Amino acid sequence: MSTLTTTSAASTASSLAALGRHGLAGLRVLLLLTVLLGLAYPLAMTGVAQVAFPWQANGSLVTATGERTTDRAQAVGSALVGQAFTGDEWFHPRPSVAGNGYDTRASGGSNLGPLNPDLAATVRERQAQVAAEDGVDPSQVPADAVTASFSGLDPDISPAYAAIQVERVAAARGLEPAAVQRLVDEHTSGRPLGVLGEPRVNVLALNIAIRQLG
């Protein structure tokens, strides 16, 4: 009986020692991976980004003259984040339900399905408003003029939505519609890689250009 007890105690001590060794090994691996993946890797990627892609790494900021900048004090916005523009003299972005509109702290969509009656009513209201603002038939109002993006921060509109705003902006600024349309064409980007997405117009860049024109 004494021999069995001694053997059992020795086995328990051996198991505890093995458990301790495995625990320490696991802790060392955890600390090593924390340093490598939680500190070294992010710092290395941040350094590479700041050297190779400083504009993109700092938020794709632009100045009032349309120049790229990494200085937040000089920036009027980001090429990647939409913002609200009101008044006939500006091209308007698509609707946003992020907070009170284009709130980067409340990015998100309405989460309403296409058959939701509240969404359908909102779309009809927006369609009537855009048609009245731009002097077009409601059937000419494109989808992006009446629907918010999933993020609520989409910086782009379709060329079709930009086109129906040309006459309004030109009249408000005393410009020739043809000159305004040329700016729209110049600020229209094609499909990435020629096949992805749809052609788009960056609203901030276009409005900066339209202000410089007149």
pLDDT tens-digit series, residues 58-110 = 999 999 999 999 999 999 999 999 999 999 999 999 999 998 889 999 898 88
Do 174 and 93 sit in the same domain of this protein?
yes
User: What number is the average pLDDT over the span 176-181?
Assistant: 96
Most confident option among 14-18, 55-59, 160-164: 160-164
Do 21 and 89 sit in the same domain of this protein?
no
Dihedral-angle region of residue 95 (phi above 0 means left; psi in -120 to 50 means alpha; beta otherwise): beta
Whether the pLDDT of residue 3 is over 70: the answer is no
CB 134 within 8 A of CB 167: yes
Do 106 and 188 sit in the same domain of this protein?
yes
Do 142 and 190 sit in the same domain of this protein?
yes
pLDDT band at 13 (very low <50, low <70, confident <90, very high): low
Residue 29 belongs to domain spanning: 2-52
Do 113 and 202 sit in the same domain of this protein?
yes
More confident residue, 72 or 21: 72
**Residue 151: DSSP 8-state:** S
Do 162 and 203 sit in the same domain of this protein?
yes
Domain boundary among 52, 69, 91: 52
Identify whether 179 is part of a domain.
Answer: yes
> What total of structural domains would you count in the chain?
2
Identify whether 103 is part of a domain.
Answer: yes
CB 138 within 8 A of CB 131: yes
Q: What percent of the chain has pLDDT over 70?
A: 93
Do 21 and 105 sit in the same domain of this protein?
no
Contacts with 55 (C-beta within 8 Å, 6 or more apart), sequence order: 61, 68, 69, 70
Identify whether 67 is part of a domain.
Answer: no
Do 34 and 88 sit in the same domain of this protein?
no
User: What number is the average pLDDT over the span 162-191?
Assistant: 96
Identify whether 99 is part of a domain.
Answer: yes
Between helix 177-186 and helix 203-213 the angle, nearest 10°, is 140
Do 42 and 122 sit in the same domain of this protein?
no
Can you say whether the dihedral through the CA atoms of 200, 201, 203, 205 is positive or negative? Answer: positive
CB 183 within 8 A of CB 209: yes
Q: What pairs with residue 156 in β-bridges?
A: 202
Dihedrals φ, ψ of 84, to 5°? -75, 140
Identify whether 75 is part of a domain.
Answer: no
- Mean of pLDDT over the chain: 90
Task: Tell me what pLDDT residue 109 has.
Answer: 85
Do 160 and 95 sit in the same domain of this protein?
yes
